[in-house]
Structure 1
Amino acid sequence: PQKYTVLGKEYSVMRQGAGFKQEGDASWYGMKFHGHATSNGEIYDVYQMTAAHKTLPLPSYVKVTRKETQESVIVRVNDRGPFHEGRIIDLSYAAAVKLGINKAGTAAVSIEVISAPIKGPEKWLQVSALSNQQSAKALQKKLQAMQQWPVVIKSNNKGSLHKVRIGPVPVGQATDKVITILQENQLPNPLVLAAHQL
């Protein structure tokens, strides 16, 4: 919906997030919501690099930078929130750990939409296709810990094959860097896919 109401307050969803920047506090949400549906119908997984925002189109990709440390992560916005004064983004547990805010609970951040599009073409790096979902989730967690881009699991309709992909990643140095990280960690060379091959 283009508008929705929470706690008596109406929010208007942006038509597009291109160029959007914002500063404020980030918080995170954890196990209580694990396995529940997000606002765009996906299932919330604390180990994925996702986030909630009140008005950005779903999904959007956002670069979140913690002001104190200048560390950044890229998250996929697939939920609505946080409905708390002064907070601009609610991070998944995995993203909060990456930024070191899981213990403090909140931190000052700046956010910037990069989904539209990451300058130039984007690629997805398929690292593996596994029959066991738990193995796919374990690999997803491992990949998320070693690099900054989102890691998604794409399962077939029967649930018999689970493809683990990193992306979207901008073509060029960023893609090369991820491939180097995979090689350094004795992981297979990924299958490099363009958007139309997904």
Structure 2
Amino acid sequence: MRVLKILIAEDVRMVRGALAALIELEADLTVVAQAERGDMILPLAMRHRPDVAIIDIDLPAIDGLTAAQLLHEELPSCKTLILTGLSRPGTVRRALAASVSGFLLKDSPSARLAEAVREVSSGRRVVDPQVALTAWDAGDNPLSPRELEVLRFAADGAEAPEIAAGLGLSVGTVRNYLTAIVMKLNARNRVDAVKIATEAGWLP
């Protein structure tokens, strides 16, 4: 029987310990490395050569999807299974773009975790049905590339004059973009627009 080597990346120590304990209950799975920050994943993976990395999406230093992309580029033999407590509709698109192998909600049954690890290891892609449905319902991004640029500045707290200077636009043009963004997203204001776009995965 081949034993699959697992890397776990989770910043909450208790959750990380629980995941490791669940994995070690399986005869064909063993934990070879644990990381509490995203920037620890690649060095640990290069040292231990895991078959599957279970990665929490919200990690300090480097977020889980960025770490998964780096891992795919440097160690493509290691499959990645993203865990999240959030079912943001755009996150699945980001995850698939990052070449992750699976996407599982943290409140999935514990037995599902081991099944998902085996499935991604064998080359199959696993996406939690609830997340897939949410992503399907979200629709496409209605914002143009320029509107997204303006909204990124707004997300960082920039006001219209700062955005105008950063993008080489007039202040009036920026205000027009902001108004269009709010209307397209059916938002209450620009702060609400940033929240909507972020949760949809359009503003990573």
TM-score bracket relative to the smaller structure: under 0.3
| Larger helix proportion of the pair | 2
| Larger strand proportion of the pair | 1
**TM-score of the superposition, structure 2-length normalised?**
0.25
Q: Which has the higher contact order (CA 8 A, sep 6+)?
A: 1
Select the structure of larger CA radius of gyration: 2
